[in-house]
Amino acid sequence: MMTAYNEGPNQIAFYRERAGLSQEELAAQCGLTVDYLKGLENGTEPRLTVRLKPVADVLGVSVEELVGKPTC
């Protein structure tokens, strides 16, 4: 089952920047286009678990952390 996290906070950019990655670098490592990653970050693309999992894996965080409060 795919879960959509379209409501609530979006911490993708926070964790990407904390990891020292550009959007281009993260997109390449996750197999996503830069435009799609930008959409995930700004909320114009649906944040589906299946799309967030590779991002979370590269950033070393959980999917829940990407769509919740940063744990600094």
User: Of 4-8, 52-56, 58-62, which range is least confident?
Assistant: 4-8
**Which residues partner with 4 through β-bridges?**
48
Q: Does domain 12-62 have CATH number 3.40.30.10?
A: no
SS (H, E, C) the chain: CCCECCCCCCCHHHHHHHCCCCHHHHHHHHCCCHHHHHHHHHCCCCCEHHHHHHHHHHHCCCHHHHCCCCCC
Instruction: Report pLDDT digits (tens) over 13-32.
Output: 999 999 999 999 999 999 99
User: pTM above the 0.85 mark?
Assistant: no
**Which residues partner with 48 through β-bridges?**
4
Domain residue ranges in the chain:
12-62
